Amino acid sequence: MPLADNSILAIHWILSGAFDRGVNWNWIGKNPIEQADKPSMPKPDPQPPTAAETAQLINGAYAIDDDWGEFIFAKATTGNRRSEHFALQWRHFEDPPPPVDPDEEPEPAVVVVRQALYKADDGSLCLKDTKTTSSARRSLTTRRD
């Protein structure tokens, strides 16, 4: 039975590192793994929920708790990475001033993503810069009840 592509990639990665070390220590002249054909990584196939499923999830979260509902709503509308979303604090949310004309559509709120949460080696939770090391302003669409 042939090995799966992920298994072959893992073996390739281990052997490549071992042979690189052998080259560094002058045990061999060249890494033979560089000549090997490795399989390509499988393409991700994300299957996000439909709009109706997302609405049901958001409404269910609001039914449990308003803060939980806001959290799920913001996650669904921003596209933040998990680590970025879990690092959000209330100070990262900016509410626009209400419109002067009551018939005017209000501006959407904005969330500013500046940090990400990660687990340190000792198990503690810490904050770090985002993956792209730049902050991002993401608009939150107006929630319709």
Q: Tokens at residue 53, please?
A: 């499923």
Where residue 123 falls (left for φ over 0; alpha for ψ -120 to 50; beta otherwise) is left
Instruction: Tell whether the model's pLDDT for residue 143 goes beyond 70.
Output: no
Beta bridge partners of 94: 110
Beta bridge partners of 116: 128
Higher pLDDT, 1 or 113: 113
Predicted TM-score of the model (pTM): 0.55
Report the percentage of the chain scoring pLDDT > 70: 94
Give me the pLDDT at residue 145, please. 47
Identify which of 144, 63, 54, 62 has the alpha carbon closest to the alpha carbon of residue 105: 144
Q: Which helix (H) or strand (E) holds 74?
A: helix 66-78
Handedness of CA 98, 104, 88, 64 (dihedral sign): positive
User: CA 52 → CA 18, 58, 81, distances in Å?
Assistant: 50, 10, 22
Q: What is the CA radius of gyration of the chain?
A: 24
Give me the pLDDT at residue 120, please. 93
pLDDT digits (tens, 9 = 90+) for 104-124: 888 888 888 889 999 999 999
Identify which of 56, 117, 49 has the alpha carbon closest to the alpha carbon of residue 82: 117
